[in-house]
Chains A and B, each alone.
Chain A
């Protein structure tokens, strides 16, 4: 039952993604690329690019996109519902608890320990995407995509040094790649 599987996968993503949009990405990748052969890593990376350029949380965008690809419009709705179900329950309970007992030490401490783990997970997800950029045609030195590497370095520079918006940087990378292709380079 594909709808049930979809729903359950995104329930898990919703339940365990703590700390904002990027934190959900490794979990989504794990569910839809690694555990289930629903989309490829390349499609997943395209999806992130699309999600960045459209409004809404990345997890919602991913749930809709993956859902539709494997189960039509109904699949998209099921995936999205799966993602928000844990939030609906937990946030409602937390709101109640919060107004009752503000500033729980245990809660603060759990969150403090989750943060470094989340950073590590994001770093790992980023590395696999970088690998995809550099070694799209195979893991040999001859097959290295130098243009991709150069674009990556340029993008990092623009993001860190000039604090350009991620959307602008991505569009710029896409534009340069397209322009060079049109000129017959790369």
Chain B
């Protein structure tokens, strides 16, 4: 990937690109990943469409934030270990700097009665965003048509909301179900 640019220039380009993308993209992981695709596939031609799609899928199936995971993969792909480091730093610096600035004014900010009023209203908005996300995700789940999925959904909800089971155990439990599901399918040779 170093090709015509040379190693230093590639690393520099990677860092500045990630910095800019990360500083100006609001919204979830998918937004920032879309911007990365635009930059590295369409603009810089560092990577082709198909490989980019593979990397996004991979980033999504690993734990952590999708933007960070995609940055790690792109960094490795472009310039190895140092590429990864530079790419992650570029992605992380803008949000860390901005939140650091905000957190120092937060107390004065939240103590102001008008700000408190606005924040209170925004909490209702946050709750609504959660409902919206759950509905969208639920719709995809229903399309999957697997009964086991409903069982997992119900059991996970009861475990977390009613019995206050630690989230980590719930995730490990679900992963275990996934492993059993594969073993079961292998034995039966059919769908569950």
Neighbour of A123 across the interface among B30, B73, B94, B134, CB < 8 A: B134
Chain A interface SS verdict (over half): helix
Neighbour of B67 across the interface among A57, A126, A160, CB < 8 A: A57
Known interface pairs A27-B167, A60-B95, A156-B131. Does A181 touch B76 (Cβ–Cβ under 8 Å)? no
Total chain A interface residues with beta-carbon distance under 8 A:
101
Check B69–A116 contact: CB distance below 8 A. Answer: no
B residues 52-105 in Cβ contact with A at 8 Å: 54, 58-69, 72-73, 76, 84, 88, 92, 94-96, 98-100, 102-104
* Chain B residues whose CB sits within 8 angstroms of the CB of A18 once the complex forms: 61-63, 171
B residues 164-185 in Cβ contact with A at 8 Å: 166-168, 170-171, 173-175, 177-179, 181-182, 185
Any chain A CB within 8 A of the CB of B42? no
* Chain B residues whose CB sits within 8 angstroms of the CB of A143 once the complex forms: none
Once the chains are docked, how many angstroms separate the CA of A60 from the CA of B185? Answer: 38
Once the chains are docked, how many angstroms separate the CA of A119 from the CA of B152? Answer: 10
Tell me, rounded to whole Å, the shortest Cβ–Cβ distance linking A8 to chain B: 12
* Chain A residues whose CB sits within 8 angstroms of the CB of B185 once the complex forms: 109
User: Chain A: which residue is nearest B120 at the CB level?
Assistant: A177
* Chain B residues whose CB sits within 8 angstroms of the CB of A21 once the complex forms: 28-29, 65-66
- Residue interface mask B108-134, A partner, CB < 8 A = 1: 001001100111111111111111111
Check A132–B62 contact: CB distance below 8 A. Answer: no
Tell me, rounded to whole Å, the shortest Cβ–Cβ distance linking B145 to chain A: 12
* Chain A residues whose CB sits within 8 angstroms of the CB of B152 once the complex forms: 113, 116-117, 120
* Chain B residues whose CB sits within 8 angstroms of the CB of A178 once the complex forms: 114, 117-118, 121
Check B121–A126 contact: CB distance below 8 A. Answer: no
Tell me, rounded to whole Å, the shortest Cβ–Cβ distance linking A14 to chain B: 5
Check B27–A167 contact: CB distance below 8 A. Answer: yes
- Residue interface mask A49-62, B partner, CB < 8 A = 1: 11111111111110
